[in-house]
Amino acid sequence: MESIVIHGGRKLEGTLHVQGAKNAVLPILAACVLVNGVCVLHNCPVLTDVAAAIEILRCLGCKVRREGHTLIVDARVISRCSIPDSLMREMRSSIVFLGAMLARLGAAQLCMPGGCEIGSRPIDLHLSALRTMGVTVQEQNGNLCCKVPNRLHSSVIRLAFPSVGATENVMLASAFAKGRTVIYNAAQEPEIEDLADFLNACGCNVRIDAGAVRIDGVDSAHDAEHTVIPDRIAALSYMTAVAACGGDVCLKDVRTAHFASANEVFRQAGCELDISATQLRIRSNGCLRAVEHIKTQPYPGFPTDAQAAVMAMLCVAHGTSTMTETIFENRFNHVPQLRRMGAVIRTKGCEARIRGVKRLSGAHVHAVDLRAGGALITAALAADGVSVIEGVDHIDRGYETIEACYRTLGADIERSAGSGKQQSKQKQPVRQL
């Protein structure tokens, strides 16, 4: 089983290009199902979740070709309306294909996505919204059989929670619905805006304003070319490593407006930030201050996906920080692993209290979910000694060539074919800036 081996304690310096956004490219790939044509998508990161989405498209009958970070998706022929359980289980966010399949095909069979390491991840908001639009949904033995008896009709959808996935599913399902569909209390994440931009490039008619999304149905969608936005969560993960290790790093090709709420946390922790629209320079002397209270919230609040990595950074801050996770019910899986490295963290329900220590110590740890993996890398880079991180498959779901990225910044980090005990190491090609 692969592992990542890190000799910690080195400062990080240099320039890093930030990958395209996983959580933007996934719904945009699903949206390609709407298009009876060919779409060209740039800045698509090489991730296992993206590979899973490509497999779903191919399984539905699409042709998909990758040329570097560009994906060419030909959805002129869609030959089936079901997604195999194996692919649904590989990536629970496959549920976002549902809306596009209903709009294009009028039917969809797929298994319930099920929960994952960070929570039960129900889809009740998705299904109640689709039922409102005229979809019949049969749930049997963990499978979903969805049909559109007539044409999907435009509706007013009021989401009980600004669910990202539910917002995306309704945007896709309503693309061809007659009339105007309005989603109130919609998610406002940048990835939603990127999906709307892609849909409009395909000839759809989607407008976002003040927490509502308005979709005016069109008859069809056509070829489009689109560049996926940068990954704000990957950017924040790299920032936590620079903050914790100390150093001076410039992140390029980012959209700093997409993570403004988190930047304030780094300033409070004692980092210096120079920010322009598409670049961010972060400097840290490695001596951080605790941050009194961080609460994850829907966008534009502090992002839940950055909670683990920021916690790792605060493990070596001077003083006690408090973090409250309000989005997912089980998103502290990284805590026991951080404790193995010497972190002093107490959790009670959705609240974690982190009492900073002078140094963490390298240890053999296991990433149990994607963002926990990013957090363990941050902690290991800052720790004294050697860390071996297993569960690399989780990390590869959302971080492209993460070792190569950190190596360009001066980190001593390798992917090991074995469980970290063997020294046979594989170097990954460094993505050219």
Q: Which residues are near ligand EPZ by CB under 6 A? A: 22-23, 26, 93, 119, 121-126, 161, 163-166, 187, 189, 304-305, 327-328, 370-371, 398
Give, for 275, the enclosing helix (H) or strand (E). strand 272-275
Give, for 388, the enclosing helix (H) or strand (E). strand 386-390
The amino acid present at 95, given as its one-letter code, is I
CB 147 within 8 A of CB 130: no
Q: What is the length of the chain? A: 433
Structure token digits, residue 43: 């800045």
- Distance, CA of 156 to CA of 324 (rounded, Å): 32
| Beta carbon of residue 118, minimum distance to ligand EPZ (angstroms, whole number) | 6
Nearer to ligand EPZ, 114 or 286 (CB): 114
* Residue among 56, 89, 57, 87 nearest 72 (CA): 57
Catalytic residue among 116, 145, 250, 350: 116
Question: Cis link prior to 300 (omega < 30° from 0)?
Answer: yes
Nearer to ligand EPZ, 231 or 414 (CB): 231
Q: Which residue is nearest to ligand EPZ (CB)?
A: 165
Nearer to ligand EPZ, 383 or 402 (CB): 402
- Distance, CA of 308 to CA of 98 (rounded, Å): 30
Nearer to ligand EPZ, 254 or 363 (CB): 254
- Distance, CA of 116 to CA of 52 (rounded, Å): 16
Nearer to ligand EPZ, 94 or 284 (CB): 94
Catalytic residue at 116?
Answer: yes
Structure token digits, residue 341: 């490295």
CB 83 within 8 A of CB 94: yes
Nearer to ligand EPZ, 25 or 177 (CB): 25
For the beta carbon of residue 430, count every other beta carbon within 10 angstroms: 12
Q: Which residues of 16-32 are buried (b: 16+ CB within 10 A; e: fewer)?
A: bebbbbbbbbbbbbbbb
CB 15 within 8 A of CB 386: no
**What DSSP line would sit under 166-199, residue for residue?**
HHHHHHHHTTTSBSEEEEET----HHHHHHHHHH
Q: Report the greatest alpha carbon distance in the chain.
A: 64
**DSSP state at residue 211:** T
Burial class of 59 by CB neighbour count within 10 A (0 to 12, 13 to 18, 19+): middle
Strand 143-147 with 136-140, pairing: antiparallel
- Distance, CA of 91 to CA of 192 (rounded, Å): 19
Structural Rg of the chain based on CA atoms: 22
- Distance, CA of 225 to CA of 18 (rounded, Å): 21
At 336, give phi and psi (nearest 5°).
-60, -35
List, by residue number, the catalytic residues: 116
